[in-house]
A and B are shown apart, each in its own frame.
Chain A
Amino acid sequence: MNTLVLTVLTLGVLGILLAVILYFVAQRFKVEEDPRIDDVEKMLPGANCGGCGFAGCRAMSEALVSRDNIESLFCPVAGGDAMKSIANFLGKVAPEKTPMVATMRCGGSCDKRPKVNHYDGALNCAVVNTFYVGETACAFGCIGYGDCVNACKFGALKVNTETGLVEVDADKCTACGACVKACPKGLFELRKKWPKNRAIYVACRSKNRGAVVMKACKSGCIGCGKCQKVCAFDAITIDNFLAYIDPEKCKLCRKCVNECPTGAIHIENMERLPKEPKPTKPEAEK
């Protein structure tokens, strides 16, 4: 009995003593922090993807709270509405951003871009890129070992084993930009997100001359310029034998898609324009 009492007493006193010490230590080393940082952090997605340019959501919310002008700060994952409500909460002006989506610009699937050698090293795009062009003869195309897939925190990317190319799930993509950084070939671009995930873009990054492109890949851009001629909105530029459709200017009119002789211009979630026997000269052409 005596032992029991003694034990309980000792432990009880010890507990109280330590609690008091802990309390004073906590008081002494308390860090004063704006309580709004916690609130803002809760409003952010919490994925810590780094898409905003900060190390994580906490750092982002610290910046949002401390800076007077937050127009340069934007969380692509949360999107415009969430940023607006955060701005309202802080009494600041929200940044305006149109929704974006990552686009993988290579259409050289296995059947169109044949393999000419057998890669035998570590299955990692960056490793391939350290020493040679890859298994196909195209130095610009998708390597297909999925560095981007590993970088994506939202499961929006996957390698299609049939085509050997990476595909983007536009509904899952938050445009955080991790894939843009991860791809050693620079194939990803954040483009304006249209309703119903419609998209038209040049699925090729090859800056080689047409003849070289054709040898390596049947669906590459050869820089022929036909798309540029047909575009009524000046959205297409050709640089180094490579066409580029400016997402800000493109109106999804689809004329260029039919013009492309190699099918390098991809069209997604839209029907192609019906083939006309001989189109009359487009009037809007300048």
Chain B
Amino acid sequence: MATRLFASPSPHIHSADNTRRIMGDVVLALIPALAVSTYVLGLRVLFVTFVAVASCVLFEYFISRLFLKRKATIGDLSAVVTGVLLAFNLPVGIPWWIVVIGALVAIGIGKMTFGGLGCNPFNPALTGRIFLLIAYPVEMTDWTTGVPDALSGSTMLPAVKYHLTSLADVNFAHLFGGVMNGSMGEISAVALLVGGIYLLVRKVISWHIPVAVLGTMALFAFATAIGQGDLMWQLPLFHLMAGGAMLGAIFMATDYSTSPMTHKGMLIYGVGIGVITMVIRLWGAYPEGMSFAIFIMNAATPLINKYCRPKRFGTK
């Protein structure tokens, strides 16, 4: 083998970090939640997740090859992440073809129309979910399929919101562990937290967004509880663990291309999500507001980036 001399401008070495590893870490971090979900809601969870992932990857492949006429970028695993996150936002009983449509919207409209990886202004999985929520409201809120007898046919957020259940009766241990009904990936707060801690340790995400989102939500709920003079600790805890709070704060809001670059920006973005979520949850038409809150703050990200610049060295 002859010697081949390379030349390039500096730097000449690179960290071990790469996009595929980051995306792989995110998938890995989602596995505990998937496991709990499968245990509680049954094997259909795996089927729906598989359909979502497979269709996301295939759509990305075909759109980049056929329409954009460029090399497919599925190797970076970002389509897999979108697929898993999309599945996690769906009820387990959803018909498979709706999942495929969701994947088409997520990848086709949410991601590839803007130029693919890194160019999308909105979280692709959320785009898919919101589309489905509006297009197929019945199927998207049908919580009766595959549910163990012990659970009611409604999820906790609407149950409490519409006074079907009293907050005082909520079993917080079940809520935390995931023995409840809901979208596939949202049910177990503890599994999502484990995944979140893994991401923090691997430095895939920083603490700013999740802490800002969850902290704001807790404070907001606490303030409301004080206003009502009741349920001081139950209300904040309930809002952190029910619905998509954990999944949203740890996995959806932290999506790189749709969240701000600087730590200061991340905090503002996180607080925004927290406030909007709570406003929708307490006074809005929908029982859950996480998706919409993230979506709205995604739109504000370029603006936040413009005003939250890093501190220039040597300036006060």
Contacts and interface: CB of A to CB of B under 8 A. Distances in A.
B9 A117 contact: no
A127 interface: yes
Interface residues of B, number: 6
A251 to B, nearest CB: 44
A120 B9 CA distance: 8
Contact of A127 (B5, B6, B9): B9
Contacts of A131: 9
Interface SS of A by simple majority:
loop
Nearest to A132: B7
A130 B9 contact: yes
Interface string A131-149: 1100100000000000000
A257 B8 CA distance: 38
Interface in B1-34: 4-9
Interface in A218-252: none
Contacts of A122: 9
A118 B4 contact: yes
A89 interface: no
A122 B11 CA distance: 12
B5 A118 contact: yes
A24 interface: no
A5 B5 CA distance: 82
Contacts of A135: 7
Contacts of A116: 5
A111 B97 CA distance: 57
B9 A118 contact: no
Interface of B: 4-9
10 contacts: A117-B5, A117-B6, A118-B5, A119-B6, A119-B8, A120-B7, A120-B8, A121-B7, A127-B9, A130-B9
Q: Which 6 A-B pairs have the closest CB atoms?
A: A121-B8, A120-B8, A117-B5, A117-B7, A120-B6, A121-B9
Given A117-B6, A121-B8, A130-B9, 5 more contacts: A117-B7, A118-B6, A119-B6, A121-B7, A131-B9
